[in-house]
Amino acid sequence: MHFYTMNEWEMYGLAEDPEEKHNLYGIPEHANLQQGLMQTPERLAAGIPARN
């Protein structure tokens, strides 16, 4: 999750942390997952046809 007005990110492992108490963003062990999640919106947007 990205808070645009504060430029802060959050990422939680909800299966292990359903109360979202331990932010995983920025932890090196989760870098690959974090990178993939950050690319998802751009990848999905690329598949949307442009409006005329």
Does residue 14 lie in a domain region?
Answer: yes
Structural domain includes residue 42: yes
Q: Mean pLDDT in the chain?
A: 87
Residues in contact with 37: Cβ distance below 8 Å, sequence separation at least 6, in sequence order: 11
- What per-residue string of b and e applies to 19-28 under the rule 16 or more CB within 10 Å gives b? eeeeebeeee
Q: Which pLDDT value is given to residue 5?
A: 67
> What is the model's pLDDT at position 38?
83
Whether the pLDDT of residue 46 is over 80: the answer is yes
Is residue 52 assigned to a domain?
Answer: no
Residue 8 pLDDT level (bands cut at 50, 70, 90)? confident
Residue 51 lies in a domain: no
pTM for the whole structure: 0.65
AA identity, residue 3: F
Query: 9: buried, middle or exposed (CB in 10 Å: 19+, 13-18, 0-12)?
Result: middle
Is a pLDDT exceeding 90 seen at residue 32? yes
